[in-house]
């Protein structure tokens, strides 16, 4: 791993933008240009490239050389989304941290609006922007991608308003269960509060065992357990090219359609990470309270996999092997949550 450009300013910025890239040359010009065009210019951009092979590293080197606010780390191997962001979160100097996907384009007022949403709200850990769908580089639509995460009693988590046409209700700020992954803005102090010790003696904020997918939901749940809250700020506007951008599945037909268009490896890792997330974060009391809904969903999920998607069973061995680490993290989280409630 080579650090091609180190931090180039002494005064800490207001915002650290953490961007993890992997073969994203199609998206990077639009993404990075939108960062550099922000009305709020008090930011640093930390870029971690996960061994891209599409020429994006060379393009990023040139950009970092030309802009002292940008630093680039080149990895010789793909360390995964979570591990790459963790490295940069722990190195961040800003009071706020934007975890940015490479296929996101920001409105010029994004950072100013997102940081303003924290003012006077001292228990807000995360700000959820108003995300619209990006159909291609610079092809911005008015269809919503997400206005935040919603968790149902069966532990199914969906992106609120995904695939819907924007309406008046989407312009109203307010609390939300959690911040969705493409462009959440966090209070850095909250991220550090939610960090977990690793077996190797370090720290992680996003669960590196997840590699990618569901790590945003896992973090949102952990922050809630620790007493932090999330806030929807519609004035913070961005566009995201979600890989699977259909509206939330509400019927068996919707589920089958989504299953058909989703790559097999995504289905397998998402299925595994959903169960790991529940093992880590669900309290016994709430699990018992919602057991009928949870049990029905799990039975339907297993039945669907056996009948229509048996290849997803390949996620079972990785799930079993990850259980000891998940239980160890659960014990740490539950202990921290109890201290917070009684302290």
Residues 6+ apart with CB under 8 A from 34: 104, 105, 106, 107, 108, 110
Sign (positive or negative) of CA dihedral 140, 145, 146, 147:
positive
Exposed e or buried b per residue across 12-45, where buried means at least 16 C-beta atoms within 10 angstroms of its C-beta: ebbbbbbbbbbbbbebbbbbbebbeebebebbbb
Residue 75 in contact with residue 1, Cβ under 8 Å?
yes
Q: Which of 187, 228, 218 is nearest to 89 (CA)?
A: 187
| Domains recognised in the chain with CATH numbers | 2-240 (3.90.550.10), 252-342 (no CATH)
Query: What is the Rg, in whole angstroms, of the alpha carbon atoms belonging to the chain?
Result: 20
At 35, list the tokens.
């960062």
Strand partners, 100: 19
Q: What's the pTM value of the predicted model, to 2 decimals?
A: 0.91
For 150-199, the DSSP string reads EE-TTS-EEETTTTPBP-GGGG--EEESB--SSS-EEEHHHHHHT-EE-T
Q: Are 73 and 45 in contact (CB under 8 A)?
A: no
Pairing mode, strands 2-3 and 70-74:
antiparallel
Q: Decide: 166 and 176 in contact? Cβ < 8 Å.
A: no
The distance from CA 260 to its chain's CA centroid, rounded to whole angstroms, is 24
Q: What is the pLDDT along the chain (343 residues), one digit of tens a residue?
A: 444 444 455 789 999 999 999 999 999 999 999 999 999 999 999 999 999 999 999 999 999 999 999 999 999 999 999 999 999 999 999 999 999 999 999 999 999 999 999 999 999 999 999 999 999 999 999 999 999 999 999 999 999 999 999 999 999 999 999 999 999 999 999 999 999 998 888 999 999 999 888 999 999 999 999 999 999 999 999 999 986 545 555 555 555 556 556 778 788 899 999 999 999 999 999 999 999 999 999 999 889 888 888 888 888 999 999 999 999 999 999 999 999 888 6
CA distance 102 to 19: 7
Enter the DSSP assignment of 79.
-
């Amino acid at each position: 791993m080579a650090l091609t450009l180190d931090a180039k300013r002494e005064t800490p910025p207001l915002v650290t933008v953490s961007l993890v890239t992997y073969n994203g040359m199609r998206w990077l010009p639009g993404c990075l240009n939108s960062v550099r065009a922000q009305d709020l210019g008090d930011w640093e951009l930390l870029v971690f490239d996960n061994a891209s092979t599409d020429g994006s590293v060379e393009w990023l080197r040139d950009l970092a050389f030309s802009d002292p606010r940008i630093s680039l780390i080149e990895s010789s191997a793909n360390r995964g989304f979570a591990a790459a962001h963790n490295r940069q979160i722990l190195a961040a100097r800003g009071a706020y941290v934007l975890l940015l996907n490479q296929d996101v384009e920001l409105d010029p007022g994004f950072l100013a609006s997102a940081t303003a949403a924290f003012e006077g709200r001292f228990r807000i850990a995360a700000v959820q922007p108003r995300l619209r769908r990006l159909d291609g580089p610079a092809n911005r639509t008015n269809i919503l991608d997400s206005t935040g995460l919603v968790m149902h009693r069966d532990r199914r988590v969906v992106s609120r308003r995904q695939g819907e046409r924007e309406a008046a209700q989407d312009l109203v700020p307010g609390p939300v269960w959690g911040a969705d992954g493409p462009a959440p803005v966090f209070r850095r102090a909250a991220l550090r509060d939610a960090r977990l010790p690793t077996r190797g003696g370090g720290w992680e904020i996003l669960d590196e065992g997840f590699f990618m997918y569901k790590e945003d939901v896992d973090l949102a749940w952990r922050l809630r357990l620790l007493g932090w809250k999330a806030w929807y700020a519609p004035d913070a506007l961005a566009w995201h090219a979600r890989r699977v951008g259909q509206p939330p599945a509400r019927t068996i037909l919707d589920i089958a359609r989504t299953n058909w268009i989703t790559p097999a490896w995504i289905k397998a890792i998402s299925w595994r990470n959903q169960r790991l997330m529940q093992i880590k974060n669900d309290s016994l009391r709430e699990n018992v309270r919602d057991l009928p809904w949870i049990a029905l969903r799990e039975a339907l999920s297993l039945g669907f996999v056996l009948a229509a998607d048996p290849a997803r069973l390949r996620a079972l061995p990785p799930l079993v092997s990850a259980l000891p680490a998940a239980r160890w993290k659960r014990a740490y989280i539950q202990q921290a949550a109890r201290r917070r409630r009684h302290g």
